[in-house]
Structure 1
Amino acid sequence: MHLTHLSLTDFRSYPSLDLLLAPGVNTFVGSNGQGKTNLLEAVGYLATLGSHRVASDAPLVREGAMSAALRARIVRGDRAALVEIEIIPGRANRAQLNRSPLARPRDVLGLLVMVLFAPEDLALVKGDPAERRRFLDDLLVARTPRLAGVLADYERVLRQRSTLLRTAGAARRAGRVGDLRTLDVWDSQLARYGSELLAARLTLVEALRSRVETAYSAVAASPPSPARGTPARGTGTAEETALTGLAYRSTVVAGIEDRGPVGDGGAADRVVLEEAMLAELARVRPQEIDRGVTLAGPHRDELLLSINGRPARGYASHGESWSLALALKLASFELLRDDQREPVLLLDDVFAELDAGRRVRLAELVAPAEQVLVTAAVGADVPAVLAGTRFEVADGQVSRVG
């Protein structure tokens, strides 16, 4: 899979842009603040309908404009597709596939598959649990686009159920009896969607576990030959031999992080998980009413990361944290490739964050991808193995070099 054309109108800093891209490596070099990251952000939005930098769509529209348009031609094998998204802050976005309107923007999900490496990825290790839940859910949707609908339904029911809990709690504190007649209905719907999401996450974590271990070893290990330079700073015997771990802590099934997935994530598992979630919701209902929040479900679960048996968050060094964050993304890339969904790789100013050893190792690991889009403030930061088509980015203009 690769992009041959990217067109932007009033997206971020670009009033208008038409860019031809080649398979292989495409590198965008320019000073900070010139719009390099905006290009990768646009590609990421076309793939996920979201930004890795901001939570809402409004900042994506150029100041003074009412909307922004993104278009990309995607080639997969001998087939090509034109995907178009119109971002309209405050209103529903619109999407087209091959010039035909789609009923929902999320119908474009799965047409472009990408894996993004960015400085923000350090939050996967050092940040809050929400960062790791988002990582899992984004990868789930990339593998199985219909799960975007499950996520949307779960979040909708969660909002409505939590609103009911807050209203009932406020009534109780005021000496009144809150109306909870519909709470059982919301419990049933939350457990229905939540069990499917939980089963999918458990299966995903199991699929990632060995791939993360392999990727971490590849990123963190010292170079095998002197020709590739000296060992990376922060590496050495301890990091080379480190064992990484992934476990899933569920608020629904106690101890699930110790025994791994329940079965194979199929329909039978969802029945077991749905019953467990209903039981847990019933158990914590008094506390939920008091606090006005939903206390059980995938929205409160945690992906646990460890190195040599110790929690990565709080114990890992800066170098170990970067290696683990990169390993999570490399494992995602390999998993998607194994699914026959060759992703486009986006490397947003990552090399500036890495020491020389990790730069070389990362570059060698991603070079075989069908298409890699790289941004860098300093061209020399990009290892020679990623030589390819180069563009200069300055004052909102993108020019091909050579």
Structure 2
Amino acid sequence: MHVSHLLLHDFRSYADVDVELDPGAMAFIGRNGQGKTNLVEAIDYLSRLGSHRVATDAPLVRAGADQALVRAVVVKEGRPATLEVELNPGRSNRARINRSPLPRPREILGLVRTVVFSPEDLTLVKGDPGDRRRFIDDLLVLRTPRLAGARADYDRILRQRNSLLKTAGAARRGGSSQEAALSTLSVWDSHLARVGAELLAQRLALVEALRPYVAKAYEAVARGASRDDAEVEYRCSFELEPEPEGTGTPGSETLERQLLAELERRRRDELERGVSLVGPHRDDLVLVLGNGEVRLPVKGYASHGESWSFALALKLASFDLLRSEGDDPILILDDVFAELDTGRREQLAALVAGAEQVLVTAAVAEDVPAALAGGRFHVADGQVRRA
């Protein structure tokens, strides 16, 4: 899989830009603030309908414009398809495939897959649990696009349930009747348990599948490391009942039953606090370093170099997992090499050079390793020129 053509209109800093791309390594070279990251951000947006830099679409639309357009020709198994998303902040976005409108933008998901590594990914190690949950869920949707619907449904159910909890809690504290709120709360409990169990089951299976790839990637990028030095563990918001030996991760039905029981057990606490305390939105991905008896969480214990290595291992593991299940995803290395010493630059380049398409951004050409010496573009003053 690769992108052969990228057209942007009023996206970020670009009024209009039209770029032809080749398979293999392609590098965008330019000083900071010239717009090189905006180009790869647009390709990543088509992959997951979101940015790896901002939480909403509004900053993606050029100042003074009402909407933005991202269009790309994606080639898979020799067959091109034109994907297009129209960004309309405050209104519904629109998506098209080969100029034909889609009923919902999320139906475009899965047609192009990207894995991005950027300096912001250090938050996977040092940031809040929400950063790691987002990493897991983005990878889930890349593997199984239909889960974008489950993810959206869960967020909607959670908002409604939290609103009911606040209403019921306030009614109780004020001495008025809370029966109206509580009468519907059990219905939303069932909804949350059903959709949450599906999401949780998929996350558990994903972490299990990802684990060996993380160990392998960390061994490759961290000096002197072995495959026993890095591990990922899924931490649920409640204690999961153990499965019978040899049956693997719990299924959705088992998890739904456990979620409902835990919601009932925590009902008093949730009414007091007016917020849902149980469910996938409270879970975390725990990153662990060390072997033998000494195993410590990366957050709070790892050095800066170890943290970088683990963040990079997570992204390389994602790439390898997706690659094992189908076509190569497009690998985006956004301003990464400036953060790495020469040895690690060469090591990373050797690991990814065989990908079908690698898109690199760098402030200076010398930062791009020789193993990724493919096509190059100079980015300056809103212009993208092939070298």
SS class of match (2:183): coil
Aligned residue number for residue 292 of structure 1:
274
Q: CA RMSD in A?
A: 1.6
Identical-residue share of aligned pairs (%): 61
2-side partners of 1:263 and 1:92: how far apart? Answer: 43
Aligned residue number for residue 374 of structure 2:
388
Give structure 1 stretches of 5+ with no counterpart: 222-236
Aligned residue number for residue 39 of structure 1:
39
SS class of match (1:182): helix
Give structure 2 stretches of 5+ with no counterpart: none
Aligned residue number for residue 26 of structure 2:
26
Aligned residue number for residue 329 of structure 1:
315
Q: How does 1:81-100 map to 2 (within 5 A)?
A: 81-100=81-100
TM-score, normalised via structure 2 length: 0.96
Aligned residue number for residue 342 of structure 1:
328
2-side partners of 1:277 and 1:329: how far apart? Answer: 30
Letter in 1 for 2:309: S
1-side partners of 2:245 and 2:19: how far apart? Answer: 44
1-side partners of 2:158 and 2:386: how far apart? Answer: 48
Letter in 1 for 2:276: T
Aligned residue number for residue 287 of structure 2:
305
Superposition misfits of 4+ residues, deviation over 2 angstroms: 239-242, 252-256, 259-265
Aligned residue number for residue 183 of structure 1:
185
Letter in 2 for 1:359: R
Aligned residue number for residue 130 of structure 2:
130
Deviations 1:58-114 (Å, cap 9, x if unpaired)? 000000000000000000012211000000010010000111000000000000001
The question of 1:354 aligning with 2:340 is answered yes
Aligned-residue offset at 1:240: 5.9
Q: How does 1:191-230 map to 2 (within 5 A)?
A: 191-221=193-223
Aligned-residue offset at 1:40: 1.0
Aligned-residue offset at 1:251: 1.3
Aligned-residue offset at 1:262: 9.2
Letter in 1 for 2:287: L
Aligned-residue offset at 1:294: 0.3
Q: 1:305·1:312 contact (CA, 8 Å) conserved in 2?
A: yes
Aligned-residue offset at 1:169: 1.1
Q: 1:7·1:18 contact (CA, 8 Å) conserved in 2?
A: yes
2-side partners of 1:94 and 1:264: how far apart? Answer: 40
Aligned residue number for residue 169 of structure 2:
169
SS class of match (1:52): coil
2-side partners of 1:255 and 1:365: how far apart? Answer: 39
1-side partners of 2:177 and 2:267: how far apart? Answer: 15
Letter in 2 for 1:301: D
Aligned residue number for residue 276 of structure 1:
258
Deviations 1:147-189 (Å, cap 9, x if unpaired)? 0000000110000000000111111121212221001110101
Aligned-residue offset at 1:261: 11
2-side partners of 1:83 and 1:262: how far apart? Answer: 43
Structure 1 residues 282 and 193, CA, compared in 2 at 3 Å: closer, same or farther? same
The question of 1:57 aligning with 2:57 is answered yes
Aligned-residue offset at 1:263: 4.0
Q: 1:133·1:301 contact (CA, 8 Å) conserved in 2?
A: yes
| Alignment length (residue pairs) | 381
Q: 1:5·1:19 contact (CA, 8 Å) conserved in 2?
A: yes
Q: 1:6·1:20 contact (CA, 8 Å) conserved in 2?
A: yes
TM-score, normalised via structure 1 length: 0.92
